[in-house]
Amino acid sequence: MSNEHDGDKYIREDAVPLPPNDADVFTTGCDYCVAGCGYKVFRWPVSDENGGAKASENALGVDIPAPTLSGNWISPSMHNIVTADGEKQHVIVLPDPGMRHINKGGDHSIRGGCIAQKCYNPDTPTRDRLQYPRLRVNGKLERISWDDATEIMAQVSRYVLDEFGVHAWGMKTFSYEFWENTYAITKLAFRSVKTPCYSPHNQPGPGGDAIGLRDVGIDKFSASYDDWGSARVLFCSGTDPYETKTMIFNEYIKPAIDSGRQKVIYALPRATAGVAYAEKNGGLWLDLFPGTDTILHMAIIRIILENAWEDDKFIAKYTNNKWDTDSSFGQGTQNTPSQWQTTWGTFRVKDFDDYKKWVLSQKWAELDAASKVTGVSKEKILKAAEMLAKPVNERRPKASFGLEKGNYWSNNYTNSTSFACLGLVCGAGNRPGQMISSFGGHQRGELSAGGHPGAESPEKVNGGRTRPIDLDRWMVEGNLRFAWVIGTTWIQAMAGSVDLDNAFKRMTIEQASQITSTDVSSAVAALKKRIDDGGMMVVNSDIYPVAPIGTEYSDIVLPASGWGEHDFTRANGERRMRVFQGFYDAPGESKPDWWAVAQFAQKMGFEGYEWKDSNEVFEESARFSRGGRTDFYPIVWKAKKDGKKGHDLLSAYGTNGIQGPVRYEYEGLVGTKRLHDSTLTVPTPQGPTVVTKAQYAFDSHTGKANFIKSPWEIFGDFFDFIRPQGEELWVTNGRINEIWQSGFDDVLRRPYITERWPDNFLEIHPEDAAERGIESGDEVLCTSDRVPVQMGSGLVAEGSDLSFTGLQKKGLIKLTEARVPAVAVVTPAIKKGVTFMNFLRKTAAANALVPRVPDPISNRYRFKLGVAFVKKTGESEYKNDLNRMSFAPRTIS
Amino acid sequence: MTEKSIKKIEPAMKALPCLSRRSFLLAGTSATVVLAVGCAGISFREGTALKVVEYPRKRIASLKGIQAHEPIHFSYPEEGAAYDSFLVQLDGAAAGGVGVDDSIVAFNGTCTHMGGPLSGQYRSEHAVVGPCPLHLTTFDLRKHGMVVSGHGTETLPQVKLEIENGEIYATAVMGLIYGLDRNTVLERD
């Protein structure tokens, strides 16, 4: 094991240049996690004089030394040299000390604090940025023109659509890298090509990620960050915000803990710094086995109900009674999209009493059984129920509930519904400090230019109903002839990735017909031949060469430009919208994805792709945001009225931005702090304003929340199969603080971070380690020969066939093998029986061990449920290295 | 801190009065010394490159007076809060360590995230300093002050130590100290 960029070392710089008073200033946001911190950029030519150490002599207006917490210290990692306006210039990308929200006062994570290193600079490891379109000729990527690249793509696409139809033409793309790009991408896929073969980067098909919340009537991003801070009890499910949305912890949760106002309950199998700090300060760590959240939630709910601690006033006023429930022909329990698919009656209750009766009848909700399956002690479960709901001096605790992928990526539907119902029982969901939401992973940069043509999905169930496509399965089974992959590592990012990798190989480089010339007609002829033979053409748009899809399998690689190189927009996890301004020149011929989409679309003869700049895309896209959680149409409407550009008006809101949905009121723009806000009053809608029910009530047919059953049996057969057998251990996975996504910026091209994490790691409990003779720093191998993969695309199935047992009976579960190496970190911070590794190390993908059998209700993967034998294979080069990879615990408090 | 201001960053080090012969030889006319692969001792082994910037040598303590896990506080390379540093003897070898088993190391005592004070946050069991009381960053003292967990965008600046006749001297710093744009007024015009 060794890193891809071993030649680049982290140099501990001893100085930074200070920006002079006349430096150009830009505003942007961090490109990484959902928190979306605000940043300021200072830029000045290297030929100019730097600023001085007195406040009057530098653009920060600060006397050096910058005081503690001033937000005005420029660390060497915040400095870079770029080309801007054709000239070498210094840039300082500084967490904005003027932030009143998110990263207040210039706080920052280790990810964002180093983001200046993201900028292209040929003297740094960013030197391998893709700069020119390339065509794979005789196995080697040769430079071609944008015109030829999009011509080849268009000719082949036209052939595929004519000969094989829209089901053979697919896209797999990021869903977050700015509205301008995702709007253009979805306009192409849904409105021009009209293909159902589309899937965002993190799931096998289109649609919501935690639809259990939706079915309860809750928008996944309804809370404001202030709600996390003002709760007296905060229930964090499946994540430690300290690690993965750091400012939510630093600036909202920690101050609340420190002031004695808040206790935090964490439900996840692994402790990190936030968990340790919470425990030290009266909080609780519910150390459950992966995938067992449903039972934990039900057990807590049962204790609350048995003690009559539920918030009966809230329940009576804000949740559906039996008349409300029966009145629905919209999105109520009777008719949720999930119900509609396969499962009449499985989840529906008439009202709270009906739900209560159901919970009390569930053997899994009994304390003994729940403790056994979840691995959480009975005392802790009881304590959690008390903390969340037991009145003190006749006052109910004010509790908020935040979840993330440890919850809904282990057992999607019932984990998220039971989580939401726990919140409802405690009176949360629609008021300050008492909210139920996702904390979020990536920022909210998806903007669909039209509905996904779901009716065209090849997945059918009985009754003629369709289910959203599982694009992975569809591709693996050889149905795609053309695939355009934009800004995502399709293979390693999805589940059962060895099988996926083999399918890509089979469909591309192992095909007989390969391109042998840069000549357009010759390349098109070779690709058509391959397609006739059953193969596939692959196009990969990205900023770097992505292994293996870009480096080995793609026929065309398109160079993308992105953050810092153009003006872009998107929202963070509390719907806070900002413009991310461009401040330096994109390298070579790299172009934003909306531009690449437009070139291709025009070659295809599609209309409506004549955008000149990203502001034009932004303005066109605005109307598709109407009525949604990030409705920004009033911004563009007002900008036009005022004779301004949409981007310019939003830019005026700076790094603090404005929270969607935006309303136009009395000549001004008003943001929305939280959704479902029972304290919200709005005037009669004015101008372009859309006031939706979701803004002031739950997002259901009645505006009241639904209780939804969460039967363990829906998942239990799969859980019994996947849980570790014999000597196996859980190999769960997740993000860590220092690394964003696949590490394309930090691990691969930031020597500071590479020194910390030169290789993938596996956290293992001391007792599990001792049984296997493993010490910190040892090289280990995780192996499994039973990674289940679901087969059978496009089959018409009975609902019951879609259960794991049903799939097994029909012979639609194939077992595959995977081997993932890592470096052991022995720590009691991981639950015994469970191990943990970073989720997307490209060279050792944790997802190779992860089942590719989506939740039958929601079509979402159970990414967290990897299982393997773990054995020592030797000592890693880091074990006795005093320079790389720390093995000290991350839970010191 | 100086009243003078810098005009340019690159040549600033030339004014340094304390160039050692070795650093001069290694770096030619520049005073910044990048000690690469295997030049000297355990801290400079393969896999890392350390920019060691030398400042006026300062006596910190006697070797005899060091007790394991008892930090000794001092200022380096200048006086003032920004320069608060600590020396500590760990269990076993540390990168850049001197003395018995290369176990004595010294670091600046201000967190590289937002300037929180790390004084009193030494954790002997894990050879870690932290968590910083502000935002909980921890640094690994065995590994050149690497961030173990948290938000520092630089390692904790390490003070280079040398032993001569039983006395421990600070001679150089690796990394930029929180709050500063350069580590010493000597670097300014």
Q: What is the pLDDT of residue A328?
A: 61
- Containing A284, the helix (H) or strand (E) segment is strand A284-286
A545 and A559 fall within a common domain: yes
Residues 6+ apart with CB under 8 A from A806: A797, A798, A800
Query: Quick one: CATH architecture of B10-187?
Result: 3-layer Sandwich (2.102)
Distance CA B157, CA B47 (A): 19
A775 and A753 fall within a common domain: yes
CB neighbourhood size of A758 (10 A): 24
Domain ranges of chain B: 10-187
**A66 contacts chain B (CB < 8 A):** yes
| Structural domain includes residue A677 | no
Rounded to the nearest 10 degrees, the angle between the axes of helix A293-306 and helix A367-374 is 160
Contact A544, A120 (CB under 8 A): no
Per the structure, the count of domains in chain A is 4
Task: Identify which of B131, B135, B175 has the shortest CB distance to residue A893.
Answer: B131
Q: In this complex, do A15 and B123 lie within 8 Å of one another by their Cβ atoms?
A: no
End-to-end CA gap in chain B: 13
Predicted confidence (pLDDT) per residue in A485-522, tens digit? 999 999 999 988 889 999 999 999 999 999 999 999 99
* Phi, psi (rounded to 5 degrees) for A279: -60, -40
Q: Which residues of A touch B153 (CB under 8 A)?
A: 75-78, 108, 110, 113-114, 752
The mean per-residue pLDDT over the stretch B26-51 comes to 37
Q: In this complex, do B114 and A71 lie within 8 Å of one another by their Cβ atoms?
A: yes
DSSP string of A669-716? EE--S-SS-TT---PSP-TT----HHHHS-SSSSSSBPPB---THHHH
Distance CA A97, CA A92 (A): 13
Q: What is the pLDDT of residue A459?
A: 83
What strands lie across the sheet with B138-140, from one edge to the other? B122-123, B128-129, B138-140, B146-149
Nearest residue to A596 via CA among A104, A34, A19, A188: A188
Q: Which residues of B touch A107 (CB under 8 A)?
A: 114, 135
Helix (H, G, I), strand (E, B) or coil at A601: helix
Task: Identify which of B8, B112, B148 has the shortest CB distance to residue A890.
Answer: B148
Task: Identify which of B1, B123, B140 has the shortest CB distance to residue A64.
Answer: B1
| Structural domain includes residue A76 | yes
Distance CA A91, CA A79 (A): 6
Alpha helices by DSSP H, A125-210: 146-163, 179-186
Q: What is the pLDDT of residue A290?
A: 98
| Structural domain includes residue A882 | no
| Structural domain includes residue A570 | yes
| Structural domain includes residue A455 | yes
Of A555, A580, A605, the residue at which a domain comes to its end is A580
| Structural domain includes residue A832 | yes
A279 and A374 fall within a common domain: yes
Contact A452, A196 (CB under 8 A): yes
A492 and A466 fall within a common domain: yes
Q: How far is B82 from chain A (nearest CA, A)?
A: 7
Looking at this protein, which amino acid is placed at residue A567? D
Evaluate if residue B29 carries a pLDDT over 70: no
Task: Identify which of B5, B49, B126 has the shortest CB distance to residue A57.
Answer: B5
For CA atoms A202, A206, A212, A218, the dihedral sign is positive
A483 and A528 fall within a common domain: yes
DSSP string of A478-520? T--SEEEEESS-HHHHSSSHHHHHHHHHHHTTTSS-----S-H
Preferred mutation among B1, B3, B110, B135 to probe A, highest tally of A CBs within 10 A: B135
Q: In this complex, do A892 and B112 lie within 8 Å of one another by their Cβ atoms?
A: no
Interface A-B: count of C-beta contacts within 8 A: 206
A868 and A736 fall within a common domain: yes
A461 and A560 fall within a common domain: yes
Give, in order, the Cα–Cα distances in Å from A123 to each of A81, A120, A363, A590, A647. Answer: 9, 9, 63, 18, 32
**A123 contacts chain B (CB < 8 A):** no
Q: What is the pLDDT of residue B11?
A: 27
Q: What is the pLDDT of residue A467?
A: 80
Q: In this complex, do B126 and A892 lie within 8 Å of one another by their Cβ atoms?
A: yes
C-alpha of A449 from chain center: 20
Domain hosting A864: range is: 713-875
A456 and A544 fall within a common domain: yes
What strands lie across the sheet with A24-29, from one edge to the other? A24-29, A38-45, A87-95, A79-84
A164 and A226 fall within a common domain: no
Distance CA A224, CA A574 (A): 5
Task: Identify which of B48, B173, B178 has the shortest CB distance to residue A73.
Answer: B178
Residues 6+ apart with CB under 8 A from B185: B1, B2, B4, B78
| Structural domain includes residue A588 | no
Q: Token pair of A597, please?
A: 């989409």
Evaluate if residue B27 carries a pLDDT over 60: no
| Structural domain includes residue A59 | yes
Alpha helices by DSSP H, A261-366: 273-280, 293-306, 312-318, 322-326, 337-342, 352-361
**B160 contacts chain A (CB < 8 A):** no
A89 and A108 fall within a common domain: yes
Of A580, A609, A638, the residue at which a domain comes to its end is A580
Of A421, A438, A455, the residue at which a domain comes to its end is A438
Look up the CATH number of the domain holding residue A521.
3.40.50.740
A188 and A257 fall within a common domain: no
Residues in chain A: 893
Predicted confidence (pLDDT) per residue in B89-145, tens digit? 999 999 999 999 999 999 999 999 999 999 999 999 999 999 999 999 999 999 999
A321 and A254 fall within a common domain: yes
Chain B contacts in chain A segment 80-109 (CB below 8 A): 106-109
Q: In this complex, do B140 and A110 lie within 8 Å of one another by their Cβ atoms?
A: no
Q: Which residues of chain A have pLDDT under 50?
A: 1-6, 330-336, 338-342
Chain A contacts in chain B segment 64-103 (CB below 8 A): 80-82, 93-95
Residues 6+ apart with CB under 8 A from A632: A569, A577, A622, A625, A650, A660, A661, A662
Look up the CATH number of the domain holding residue A365.
3.40.228.10
